[in-house]
């Protein structure tokens, strides 16, 4: 996982499970191996009950997952926890899909946009308003400039293609690894 992806996941986790549990997720992301709650508690030098609370929080949101086995001697279940990479990739993909939607909406807006703006205070005016004010800003008197959406459209097209490719690549990758 790239450091940017990790950052995204951690900031998402912060909103969902709070700072403390996010610290634990960060720890597990770096570890990458299965660990029991006891092992985690020992390594972080925290009470196992506290670790368990955070583990449940994280698993509720799908960030981590567990496998359990029965201890032959004590008959108790042992839980092995690890980061749920499939789910995390899905979360990242959903975020990208959301960004893509917003970019496309913005692109649609830009497509038919035609307006004037004041370079001084960045206020936009449609053609009628600009004409009414003799193509001068009613606020400060600066000559209004015609807005050229070509550059913005080119940039949006580029971004949209880029994210679409990423989503396609990562979706394929995800289904192959399952």
Residue 173 in the binding site for Zn ion (CB under 5 A): no
Q: What are 141's two structure tokens?
A: 């008197």
**DSSP assignment of 113-141:** ---EE-TTT--EE-HHHHHHTTTB-TTT-
Using CB under 5 A, pick the residue from 67, 136, 139, 154 that binds Zn ion: 139
| Residue 8 in tokens | 């995204």
* 56 vs 115 by CB, closer to Zn ion: 115
Find the binding residues for Zn ion in span 78-137 (CB under 5 A).
118, 120-121, 137
Distance of closest approach, residue 133 Cβ to Zn ion, in angstroms: 10
Q: How far is the CB of 150 from Zn ion (least distance, A)?
A: 23
In total, the chain counts a number of residues equal to 178
Does the footprint of Zn ion cover residue 140 (CB under 5 A)?
Answer: yes
Closest CA to 123 of 136, 110, 106: 136
Residues that bind Zn ion (CB under 5 A): 118, 120-121, 137, 139-140, 142
């Amino acid at each position: 996982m790239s450091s940017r992806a990790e950052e995204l996941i951690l900031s998402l986790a912060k909103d969902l499970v709070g700072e403390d549990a996010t610290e634990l997720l960060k720890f597990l992301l770096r570890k990458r191996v299965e660990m029991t709650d006891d092992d985690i508690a020992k390594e972080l030098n925290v009470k196992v009950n506290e670790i368990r609370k955070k583990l449940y929080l994280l698993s509720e949101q799908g960030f981590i997952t567990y496998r359990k086995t029965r201890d032959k001697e004590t008959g108790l279940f042992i839980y092995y926890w690890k980061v749920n990479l499939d789910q995390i990739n899905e979360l990242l993909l959903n975020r990208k899909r959301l960004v893509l939607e917003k970019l496309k909406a913005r692109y649609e807006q830009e497509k038919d946009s035609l307006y004037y703006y004041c370079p001084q205070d960045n206020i936009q005016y449609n053609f009628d308003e600009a004409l009414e004010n003799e193509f001068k800003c009613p606020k400060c008197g600066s000559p209004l400039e015609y807005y050229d959406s070509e550059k913005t459209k080119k940039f949006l097209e580029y971004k949209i293609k880029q994210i679409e490719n990423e989503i396609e690549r990562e979706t394929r990758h995800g289904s192959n690894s399952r």
